[in-house]
């Protein structure tokens, strides 16, 4: 930081000195006295996974409500929201039935969220491999009656794993809708990860109105490689798919909200949190138990350090980010109908890994203000303040002019766990989780102290 060191004497005011001291006390408090890691353990081990509409989701609502009451926040309440109610069903089968080399081969697979099932008759069909959606047009005449196998890998050379994910995930989210019109009977998708292993990654798909819904499953990357290899030798490979996934009618659920009411500007809100729902495998530890527990921890730190916020702070557990984002929309709609003004919202939904910075979406002035605070975070290892981003659950607040911010943790390990049975409590490191929470609390402190530009 030579450039910074040279100009520092002119920049660091007495006020900034006191900010430094306050931020140090926030980090110290979290690293010394937090029970965030234990809270996450309870959410993962006692509640478990919690897809919208599940009993786990209901238990998570009650657990976080009680937790915030125990922390004695000023107000703790539920916000009703209707959510989709998708069920995986009791049995999932995906197998190659006629490999000349290997006979019948069971594949590691999970139905994609929101997909329909095959029912008990199953689907037996020839397989056709595409490397991505871009190949559909060229080969549209070959798809009828087939199971389409999307095998475009995440690019391992992209340092930003979320960029690699973004470039590949359309196969999962719209592969079914884009091939059904050409007569595809089902699709299977290479799991969204750079890891090479036996773990299938689920995740949501979207069907399109007036396009036939067809079943869709994800397979592990090792099985995707095996299938691709076998197809090179034997073009008439057949796959049998059977599962009982189904979308039930919408059901009642809730966002969970805890609040510390502002002493000076109670009508200016800062929301911070993550999404409470998770996929129905694993424990939703990184995605997004971590973000929820960090949101609660931010308010706990204010209580514990006896910081009376000037503005109203809310820890929000949004419901249903994974397969509908109904919680985020309901929160913003209700906020708007109440004429609330959220000056800022921070979402943590990239895992409980060591924090590297914040992404943001807002006005030039807002982004400049965030950038000026960077110097206060560099001693804690946060250097990355320039990227655009926010979070799926806070995006609907942008209509209020809310400054949208995402915690940006290191992303290298995220897609080992994302949407799998491996996303469990043990995959989260206590110090990394705590440092993320302390970073969020520090930024909330600064925004509460100085407000946010327009």
Q: Which residue ranges make up the site for a copy of itself (CB under 8 A)? A: 1-4, 7, 27-28, 31-32, 156-157, 159, 161, 194-195, 354, 356, 371, 379-381, 383-384, 386, 410, 412-413, 416, 429-432, 435
Residue 355 Cα to chain centre, angstroms = 16
Q: Residue 33 or 55: which CB sits closer to a copy of itself?
A: 33
Q: Residue 80 or 379: which CB sits closer to a copy of itself?
A: 379
CB 77 within 8 A of CB 257: yes
Query: Which among 124, 101, 103 is positioned nearest to 186, based on CA atoms?
Result: 124
| Partners of 135 in the β-ladder | none
Give me the least distance between CB of 130 and a copy of itself, in Å please: 22
d(CA 446, CA 301): 14
Q: Tell me which DSSP letter residue 32 carries.
A: H
CB 349 within 8 A of CB 275: yes
Q: Residue 18 or 33: which CB sits closer to a copy of itself?
A: 33
CB 150 within 8 A of CB 188: yes
Q: Residue 194 or 359: which CB sits closer to a copy of itself?
A: 194
Neighbours of 4 (CB within 10 A): 11
Give me the least distance between CB of 13 and a copy of itself, in Å please: 18
d(CA 79, CA 62): 12
Give me the least distance between CB of 16 and a copy of itself, in Å please: 17
Token pair belonging to 222? 């090792």
Q: Residue 161 or 348: which CB sits closer to a copy of itself?
A: 161
Give helix 14-33 / helix 364-377 axis angle, nearest 10°: 70
Token pair belonging to 22? 């306050």
Ramachandran quadrant class, 90 (left: phi over 0; alpha: psi -120 to 50; beta: rest): alpha
Give me the least distance between CB of 345 and a copy of itself, in Å please: 25
Q: Residue 3 or 14: which CB sits closer to a copy of itself?
A: 3
Give me the least distance between CB of 388 and a copy of itself, in Å please: 15
Token pair belonging to 213? 């819904």
Residues 6+ apart with CB under 8 A from 85: 52, 53, 247, 248, 249, 250, 251
* Strands 311-318, 265-275: pairing kind: parallel
CB 411 within 8 A of CB 353: yes
Give me the least distance between CB of 413 and a copy of itself, in Å please: 5
Q: Residue 2 or 14: which CB sits closer to a copy of itself?
A: 2
Give me the least distance between CB of 74 and a copy of itself, in Å please: 28
**3-class SS at 362?**
coil
The CA dihedral of 368, 369, 371, 377, to the nearest 10 degrees, is 180
Q: Residue 1 or 103: which CB sits closer to a copy of itself?
A: 1
**3-class SS at 355?**
strand
Give me the least distance between CB of 114 and a copy of itself, in Å please: 29
Give me the least distance between CB of 153 and a copy of itself, in Å please: 11
For 106, 251, 268, the CA distances from 248, given in Å and listed in that order, are: 28, 8, 39
Give me the least distance between CB of 234 and a copy of itself, in Å please: 28
Give me the least distance between CB of 412 and a copy of itself, in Å please: 4
Q: Residue 100 or 431: which CB sits closer to a copy of itself?
A: 431
Neighbours of 48 (CB within 10 A): 18
d(CA 312, CA 141): 58
Token pair belonging to 313? 């702070």
Q: Residue 127 or 168: which CB sits closer to a copy of itself?
A: 168
Q: Residue 27 or 86: which CB sits closer to a copy of itself?
A: 27
């Amino acid at each position: 930081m030579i450039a910074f060191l040279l100009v520092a004497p002119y920049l660091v005011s007495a006020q900034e000195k006191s900010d430094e001291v306050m931020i140090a006390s926030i980090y110290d408090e979290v690293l010394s006295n937090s029970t965030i890691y234990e809270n996450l353990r309870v959410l993962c081990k006692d509640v478990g996974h919690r897809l919208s509409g599940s009993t786990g989701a209901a238990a998570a609502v009650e657990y976080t409500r009680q937790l915030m009451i125990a922390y004695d926040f000023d107000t703790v309440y539920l916000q009703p929201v209707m959510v989709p109610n998708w069920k995986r069903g009791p049995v999932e089968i995906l197998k190659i039935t006629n490999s000349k080399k290997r006979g019948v081969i069971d594949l590691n697979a999970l139905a994609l969220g929101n997909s329909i099932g095959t029912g008990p008759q199953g689907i037996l069909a020839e397989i056709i491999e595409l490397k991505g959606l871009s190949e559909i047009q060229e080969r549209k005449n070959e798809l009828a009656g087939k199971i389409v196998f999307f095998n475009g890998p995440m690019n391992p050379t992209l340092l930003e794993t979320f960029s690699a994910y973004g470039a590949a995930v359309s196969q999962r989210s719209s592969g079914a809708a884009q091939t059904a019109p050409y007569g595809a009977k089902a699709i299977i998708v290479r799991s969204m990860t750079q890891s090479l292993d036996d773990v299938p990654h689920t995740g949501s798909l979207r069907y399109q109105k007036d396009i036939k819904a067809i079943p869709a499953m994800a397979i592990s990357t090792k099985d995707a490689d095996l299938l691709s290899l076998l197809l090179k030798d034997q073009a008439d490979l057949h796959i049998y798919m059977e599962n009982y996934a189904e979308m039930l009618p919408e059901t009642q659920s809730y966002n969970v909200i805890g609040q510390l009411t502002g002493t000076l500007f109670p009508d200016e809100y800062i929301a911070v949190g993550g999404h409470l729902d998770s996929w129905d495998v694993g424990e939703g530890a990184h995605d997004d138990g971590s973000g929820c527990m960090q949101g609660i921890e931010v308010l706990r730190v204010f209580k514990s350090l006896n910081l009376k916020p000037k503005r109203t702070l809310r820890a929000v557990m949004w419901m249903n980010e994974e397969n509908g984002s109904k919680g985020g929309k309901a929160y913003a709609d209700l906020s708007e109908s109440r004429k609330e003004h959220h000056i800022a919202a921070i979402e943590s939904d990239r895992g409980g890994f060591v924090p590297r910075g914040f992404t943001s979406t807002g006005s030039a002035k807002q982004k400049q203000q965030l950038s000026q605070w960077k110097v206060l975070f560099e001693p804690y290892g946060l250097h990355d303040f320039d990227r655009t981003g926010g979070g799926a659950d806070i995006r609907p607040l942008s209509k209020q002019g809310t400054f949208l911010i995402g915690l940006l943790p290191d992303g290298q390990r995220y897609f080992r766990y994302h949407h799998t049975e491996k996303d469990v409590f043990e995959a989260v490191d206590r110090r990394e989780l705590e440092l993320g929470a302390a970073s969020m609390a520090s930024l909330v402190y600064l925004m509460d102290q100085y407000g946010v530009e327009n």
